[in-house]
Amino acid sequence: MNIAMKQSYWALALIYLIAMLGSPFAFEWVIKAAPIWLLAFAVLRTPSVPAKPWLLVAILISSLGDVLLELNLFVFGLGAFLIAQLTYGVLFARRFAWRPDRFAWVVFLLVWAMAVLVWCWPNLAALTVPVLAYMVAIMFMGVAALNSRFALYPAFFGAAVFILSDSLIAIGLFASPFAGQPWAVMLTYYLAQFCIVRALLRD
């Protein structure tokens, strides 16, 4: 991913973060998904990307999740992101390497996930099963990134920030909404996608 592509990505992300001040507005989903589509374009134009079709699937399914969430189709959006997380996880797992030096990070991820789950649990109601399934998928992605030949940055950093972004969504929906939550979610989401794709392009 060249410098111009990186700058364009963050310019598009910034445009959406600013546009959120006027949310909701017509075709908001287009501006929201535009940075992710640019990542897909970057993958397409990069030669010799390992498992390129699957990386494109993960990116484009993520953008579908963005659109579905913007259209208030939460369960379908969650399903789209579940597929994307599993795909990212498999791409990391392709470079599996047992990393005992990173075991403390695995424990931290598991403790974090359990803490968020316990906090949100009383209000999950009918969404309990979908949320649990998604949590398993994103934890698989995080642990796969840790136990791989990829460097902690940007691979695991991206996975961890993705987990943080989704945790902020869960906390906002099911536990304790807070001021600035939508911006925090989107900023961490864009950062996570950027880092993960950058790591897999370097593979």
pLDDT tens-place string over residues 33-83 = 999 999 999 999 999 898 999 999 999 999 999 999 999 999 999 999 999
Backbone angles phi and psi of 55, in degrees to 5: -65, -40
**Dihedral angle sign, alpha carbons of residues 81, 82, 84, 89:** positive
- Is the pLDDT assigned to residue 188 strictly greater than 80? yes
Residues of the domain holding 77 = 3-202
Mean pLDDT of the chain: 95
Number of domains in the chain: 1
Contact partners, residue 85, CB within 8 Å, separation at least 6: 134, 137, 138, 140, 141, 162
- pLDDT class for 25, splitting at 50, 70, 90? very high
Q: 140 with 90: CB under 8 angstroms?
A: no
pLDDT, residue 1, reads: 83
**Residue listed under structure tokens 């287009």:** 30
Contacts of 60 (CB under 8 A, 6+ apart): 36, 40
Q: What is the pLDDT of residue 149?
A: 94
pLDDT of residue 110: 95
Q: What is the pLDDT of residues 157-173, one digit of tens each?
A: 999 999 999 999 999 99
Query: What's the predicted TM-score (pTM) here?
Result: 0.96
Above 80 in pLDDT, residue 119? Answer: yes
**In the predicted model, is pLDDT for residue 90 greater than 90?**
yes
Across the range 6-10, mean pLDDT stands at 97
Res. 120 pLDDT band, cuts 50 70 90: very high
For position 202, what pLDDT does the model report? Answer: 80
Q: Can you say how many angstroms the Cα of residue 52 is from the centroid of all Cα atoms in its chain?
A: 18
Is 80 exceeded by the pLDDT of residue 103? yes
What number is the average pLDDT over the span 176-187? 94
For tokens 């304790």, the residue is: 176
Q: Which of 137, 139, 130 is nearest to 75 (CA)?
A: 130
